[in-house]
Amino acid sequence: MKKIVFLLSVAWLSLQAFAQDMGLMTQQAEQLYASGNYADAAEIYLRILREGQESANLYYNLGNCYYKLGENTRAILNYERSLLLDPSDDMARYNLNLAQQAVVDKIEVLPELFLVRWYREVETALSADQWAYLSVVLFVVFLVMVALFFYSRSVGVKKTGFVIGIVAFLLTAATFFFAFRQEMRISDREYAIIMTPSVTVKGAPDNSGTSLFLIHEGLKVQIIEELGNWYNIRLADGNEGWVAKTDVEKI
């Protein structure tokens, strides 16, 4: 028992030391950014990411460093990663729009049905964690209403508990579904950014394949299939083709 307590204490102290180191590195990067040393600040943020400390704020700060350095494509990549983790971040979205102004390709997005567009807006209004927290709160409300319905002696309270309980249960299911969908978006990483200055999209996963069209760095594409060293991508206008994996980086 004493050995287990000792090991737990060591692990806890190690975690505290690690968190403190990450905090110090973040402060150092912020100071470097404030002083205009964007390259060194970006390197520290990359070191933190290599330690497995992924967060929306970290990607946002890294995107700002690359934007200041004039590396718009890497800025776009990191702003997109920030929004993947926290789609409610208006500043990341605003900076992403600024960086995307330098993208050569202006792709016309296929129109969506109103209900589909509305659903996407609702689903991405909060992050996976935020939807999960909201789901837990609503489930607690549901349990409270169930208790009121079964144990209250007042008919009015029972009716109120029943109605609010049903609504809370339905909202719990909806928010849990949104949290699940957001988590799937993070794990699937089905979108990518073109990183090569110009890429010829092929009709087949081979260099000898028919050349379909030309796209440029900074463009966001959807990965719909993977074969060997190639990705089958789809553009926002519906056009599809194959590009080498080395030409893109997943968000």
Q: What are phi and psi of 104, to 5 degrees?
A: -70, -45
Q: What angle do CA 202, 206, 212 make, to 5 degrees?
A: 10
Question: What proportion of the chain, given as a percentage, has pLDDT over 70?
Answer: 91
pTM for the whole structure = 0.80
Sign of CA dihedral 225, 231, 235, 236: positive
For all residues of the chain together, what is the average pLDDT?
A: 89
Distance CA 220, CA 97 (A): 12
Q: What is the pLDDT of residues 132-160, one digit of tens each?
A: 999 999 999 999 999 999 988 888 999 99
CA–CA distance, 40 with 98 (Å, rounded to integer)? 23
Instruction: Give the rounded percent of residues in the chain with a pLDDT score beyond 90.
Output: 70
67-124 pLDDT tens trace: 999 999 999 999 999 999 999 899 999 999 999 998 998 888 777 778 888 888 888 8
Residue 13 has a pLDDT of 43
The mean pLDDT value for 168-189 works out to 93
pLDDT score for 108: 83
pLDDT in tens, 2-38: 555 444 444 444 455 555 667 778 889 999 999 999 9
